[in-house]
A and B are shown apart, each in its own frame.
Chain A
């Protein structure tokens, strides 16, 4: 289907970077409100229980912290997929699902590494590269020595799918790169030794672009063009790319601006990757323990309430039934 009618354009495409920042801030603030306002139903015991439940404002993550941890996990996912030799579009879909999910949810409230594995599993299914879950987790265990129970991934699967609003089809720049590289009008004017080289190099740059927000802001053809633009080192080739764009698409200025923006975003992401996140990660691990305990307790309480309701409903029904029987016997016996 054409890109303008796809779910990616309708729901997961934004005009400005600021919009994305707004959304992330909103998610972060709602999550922090929920965590801070948690009051356990059971009375706090003396000493230990108090520490577990209470969260201070300093312990919470800011929007930037969240983003840094997100990028770290995207890198991990990318490395994992490369290690298992998954095809490029499987890896790309997994990363997109991951980013989209955490655009609508905060990382403080979900187990991020399990969600990452779930995203990879779902993307394998969506991109016709099905991996058996237990085999996949066994492979993961070999590489990362982290033992994950398949049941937990299956539980999270539906959560993630709901978070994605069941939009499984994602357009990646890889196909557009393929098309541009096979267009002789573009490649004959570039000073490159072989078309294969530039193809491989631009695929690497596309992979790096997944660490930025480019896929939310620019359509895949534009990202593909920008990756070619950045592959070619000398000026004359870059000019010839722009001339090609003018010849084929017109709007040269708009396209050039976008290409430059994407290049800047990539540079920024490189600097962000170099930032030391060990402090933030420790904070995050601590926070996650507390929050997951909170969530488990709320789940237990909700289960208890639900059970009580069920019991009441059953008692009511048996009462009604016994009343009915009495009436029936009365009617029969006159």
Chain B
């Protein structure tokens, strides 16, 4: 009796046992045994190679035509002067031959290189509130956000302000297939979230491109910003200096060996900074545009994993080590060396 009494008195001071506080939670103790290593690599290889092949085949089906036109469309020696001349005739005709049949809708993109839409001053230079809300008129905040393209020379606000809007791309393309003209559908080229929420349906352009320097295209004063899809697409700034943006869609199919004629109004000045322009025609599939990278990456990784799985099999055969062999403990190894 007394023994149990003293026991309970002693254990009254003991903290309560719980697996959490005594760090005795049941745990999985993974060991990288040979089986697991080979299994993991094989599994990845087996999963990735088919995905890669599927992506690659989808990508190969996509037909993409790129035509760079900025060099050849300006024949004058003073390119910059030519571009900046508002009275010169900037129309330029390009011919593209279609190698494989392209099923509609065919997406038309313009591609720019060496254009840093991801430059810090450029990315900051916009006022989202102004784009959304007609009544937003805080001149100081707008000026701070959109500097240097916030106000005109006499101080009136520009809508939409900022460098991004100001540098709007304004080359236009007119397509004809086998001498028959095709219309380019310029509706629904921007993401719906942008159109519906970021650009107000009651905001109209005011004083646009009236700041002194003309940076790009002009906007129709009568259309609200939510319908200016070119502007919306342009203002979703790109991540890399080489990018393309959706211009429109050709809804009809184009057959192989058809000849597409593009009449380009070469308005946009990329000559001052050494940028290039190209027009891109591309079909799309579930994977998006032509992107060999993903397919190649999957196949490559899957292949390497399968090779490594085989390599590890060879390693475990050539350099075997019994799992849990006490001879590999460093104090046993030292003792073994010592006795030699």
Chain B associates with chain A:
no
A interface with B by C-beta (< 8 Å) = none
Residue positions of B touching A, CB distance < 8 A: none
